[in-house]
Structures are given as structure tokens and as C-alpha cells.
Amino acid sequence: MKALKIFFAVIYVRLVTRSQGHIVGELITDFYKESRINLNIIIDLMEPPNSEFQDIVATIQHPKLLINFNHTEMRHLYKSFNMQCLTIAVIDEEILNSTMALMDLLLWKKHFTPIIIWYETKHEDIQMLYELFGRCWQQGYTDVVVWWQNTLYTFKPYPTITIVPVNDLWHWRNFSLSMNFQQYPIRVIVVDFPPRCFSFHNRQGQLIRTGYYYKLIENFIRFYNGSIQHDFKDMWSNNFIQGILESVRNNRFDFVASRFRVSEQYIRSDTIDLGNVYLMVPSSNEVHQSLYILLSFNQQLWIITGVLLIIFAMLIYFVRYRSCMESGNLVKSFIAALKVIIFLTPEGFEYRTLLNYQLKCIFFFTGLFVTYLYSCSLYSIYSLRIYEPELKLLQDIEKLNLKFLVHAEDLSLYDTLENIPPIIFERFISDNNTALFVNRGKLNMVYIYSGFGDIIQYLLFQQIYLKRPIATYIPEPFYTQPTFIPMLHRMPWVDHFNRYLGYVKQSGILNKFIADSQMDGIMSVDIQFFREEQQHRSLVLATFQYGFLLWFMGLFGAFMVFLCEIYQRNILKKFARTVFNKAQ
């Protein structure tokens, strides 16, 4: 009888173990059907190996990376593999610390990927499961399912760790994708760096925090029902970088509402923008009004005038002279065509014939069109003003007699840049960091300044109501650095935040945040709208100096022709007298 009981106990244990493997194997198989997994990371440090776990691993058809020993030369996997991976680990009480440490090393920056843990314990103490989920939460693993004591479990970290049993894959995935912070405090480092993050007090004395970096973070936290803990850092102080690094070492922040240089000491969100850095330069000067008379003759008008002049000259030449059987005079034909162009009626068409009537109609409408085309062009130039061409390339700053004022900490970065015109390095000057921000903020264009595209647009927003802007920027980027939001390592919501960031960019909400930050800059008096210094400007005599010059040149030319004609007439008279006298 005793032997029979032992036999049935062994059969029961085998059936239970098979059912365990069957349930976990089904979970993995269903997961492959629903997800696009490119790699399976299998971690098994147990000695001896778990046979049931080995059977499940053997049935996996996808690429596998089997790790069954802990070595000091293990490296992070994110540099070699993408994020489409599934981690499957078997753990017992003895290898819990070593396995979790190995997972922390291998899954660095991949902590938000799904994890399945086969957990074996000698005792059915729920506190051991709490300890395991506590370690997962410390390392940033929230998309975790644990097979323990014939049941699948996951956990809810907010506001405290709560163990939740799951039934199948759908229940697990639905639970992992739904996130509710339940007013869990999210620590955000805020700075004073418009338009990304800044604050001001409104008329009611309330503190308003704004900036499109801050709005991105705040909207994410509010959407998932979290609360914000603010930690202000003065980014213009000398120990700002050291303070941030200390916060990183002590895990005292979750987000930073500004951008820093790329570093492995913190994780970066997906790219917000390409991050082009431009040079801000003064707007081009206005062309002197005395040149407007010449500028009205643009290329198109010159072509129209030249073509019409040739056509009308040849038409008058053949019609007026050849039809009258007279000897042709091409010069007179061109003078008559020129009269048509300047809206004067040429001589020689006094006869009332159908041909003359048709020609006069053509001359009338053509002269009217060309004359009014020039007049309208001239009047529009006087109304809108004409300016010199804007700078398009970095090399064009050689046309400016200005120095390039840079921040002292940026000099080391600029020295590493390549393919930069040498003229830029020749213009470098690092005099006063305070003067840089004051002059750039007030658009005092006594220097050339640099800045990211969002900062340049924020500063140029001040001149939106000016007829002619004070400053502009060169469209060719100075250099490029992708913009992102720094986050602490092991943050469990990195994947959620990147997904949210993609939705915000695609829907245009990010552009709305940027536009709001510009208007908030006006409300905070950090920037202000500029006004026109001179509303009305009347024409002066200097406006027509080139017109008078052309007029005097025409009079002088006519007078010289008149003198030549008198001289030619006298010569012809003398020649005629000489011939007449010789004939007598």
C-alpha cells in the first residue's frame, strides 16, 4: 500500500510539471504569434539545469541567445541587437542575486522589453514573490510575468507594488500596456531656458511653468495620472553639470526639461527634432531709393522692351517705307519704334487707311502696357522697399564686418567641427557670456550669434509685427545635434514615453507647444514685440537723383548731337561751295 502511494505521488508530480511546462510553453508560443520577436535571450544559471525549462527552450524555433554562465566580460546587448527581443530566465532562491545582476547588465537600455521568469522556491512564501518583483521594479522591469507555484503573476508598481495573477497572454499584454501612475510622484528637473523650460508669475501672483520641453513631460505625466515633483537647477551656474551628474548617481530625477550633450550616464528619449544650429545675422540693408528707377527695369522688362523694339522697328521699316517706294532708313525706324515704346505716336501714319488704323491700335495698346508695367513696378518698389540679397551660405558672412560672439563653453565644441568655412573661425570672439544672452535676446545685432533652430525662432518671434525684420538667420546649418529629453536609466516608462512622443509629433501637438512657448515668452516679458520706429516716410529729392542724372545725360547727349549736326551742316556747306567754285 505504501509503495502504491509513492507511485501515485510520482505520477502526480510528473503530471503537474508537464502542465507547468505546457502552460509556460503555450504562453511563449502565443507571444510569438502576437509579437515580432527577432531574438530570445535565454538565461539559465541553475546547477543542475532545470529539465522542464530545457524542454521548453528546445521547442523555441526563433533565434536564441543562451546564457548559462556568468562571466565578468559580459556586455550590454543593446549595442548589438535591436529592441525586438524576449527574455526568458529561470531563477531559484540561490541564484536570484546573480541572475538579476546579469539581467541588469545584459538588458541595459532594454529594460522595457518583455520578460518571462520561471521562479522556483522551496517554500510557498508570498514575500519571496514580493522580493522578486521589488528587484524587477528597481531595475526598471515592469513588463514581466512570473511563473511561480503553478500560477502566472505580474505586478502593478503604482503607488506600491501589488501582485496581480494573470490568466493568459492577452491578460498579461493588456495589463502591461495599460499604465496608471495613480498620482505616483515623477521627479522633474526644471531650468530657466526659454523656450524649452522656464517659469514666470502671472498678474494674480501664480507661478506658471511653461516651455515646450516641460509641456511634453507635463502632458505625459498628467495623461497617465501622475504627479510632478519639481527640482529647480540653475543651468547658468558653474556647478550645474556637476549637480546633474550627482543627481544621476543618486537617482534623484526621472526627467530633465532641457537638453544636454550626449552622454552614457543617462538615457535619451527618441529624437524630438534634428537640432540644426544656425547663425543669426542682421537683415540685409535697404537699397538706396535713388536706384529704384533703374531697379524697375528688371530682366523681364528689358527682354520685353528689346523684343518689341526690334519687331516694331522692322515693321515700321517695311510698312512705311517699302510700301511708299522710298529708300529705307533703319535709324528712323528704330526712333519711331522707341516712340511707340514710351507711349508717343510716331510720324508718318497720318493717312486714314485700314493698315494705319490697325498699326495705331497696336502701338497704342503696346505703349500703354509697357509704360504702365514700368510705372506699377516703380510704385510697388516705393511702397514695399527693395533690399539687398539675404545671406544664404555660411561663407557669406565675409560680407559682414561683424565678429562672431560665442559662449565660452562652446569653443571646445566648435574646434571639433569639420567642413566649416575658415572665415567663421577667424571671426570667433568669446568676451562676455552675459553680454551674449542680453544682446541676442534684444536682437542687438552688433555681433553674429548662433543658436538651435527653436531658440532662433523664439527670438525672431519678437519682430513679427515689424514691416522689415531686424535680424534673420542663414538657412545653411552651422552644425547639427539631435534634440532629446534626458531620462534616468532604468525608467520603466521609457517605451511608453517614446510612443507618446511619436504621437505628439505626428498629430501636430508639438508645434502647438512650441507656438505657445513663444507667446508665453511675451507674457513673461522675457521677450517683447518690437514696434516700427518710423511709421511714415515721404519721398525726398535724393530719391530722384538718378532720375535727374539720366535726364541731364539725355539733354547733354541731345545737345552734343545738335552740335554735331551744326558742324556737319557747316562742313557740307563748305564742301558745296568748294565744288561750286571749282565748277565755275
- The rounded percent of the chain whose pLDDT value lies above 70 is 86
Tell me the pLDDT tens digit for each residue of 124-175.
Answer: 788 888 999 999 988 888 888 888 888 888 888 888 888 888 877 667 766 6
- What cell does 578 get? 568748294
Contacts of 224 (CB under 8 A, 6+ apart): 179, 180, 181, 493, 496
Tell me the pLDDT tens digit for each residue of 312-368.
Answer: 888 877 776 655 545 556 777 777 888 887 777 666 566 667 777 777 788 888 877
DSSP 448: B
Most confident of the following: 184-188, 264-268, 360-364, 380-384: 184-188
8 A C-beta contact, residue 119 and residue 132:
yes
What angle in degrees, to the nearest 10, is found between the helix axes of 330-341 and 354-384?
50
Tell me, what's the pLDDT at 534? 64
Reported as type and span, the H/E element at residue 424 is: helix 422-426
Per the rule left: phi > 0, alpha: psi between -120 and 50, beta: everything else, 498 is: alpha
Residue 502 and residue 557: Cα distance in Å, rounded? 72
pLDDT at 237 > cutoff 90:
no
pLDDT at 581 > cutoff 70:
yes
On average, the pLDDT of the chain sits at 81
Residue 187 and residue 493: Cα distance in Å, rounded? 13
Pairing of strands 276-282, 479-480: antiparallel
Q: How far apart are the first and last CA of the chain?
A: 173
pLDDT at 77 > cutoff 90:
no
* pTM (2 d.p.): 0.75
Residue 9 and residue 2: Cα distance in Å, rounded? 11
Which residues does residue 118 pair with via DSSP β-bridges, in sequence order?
90, 147
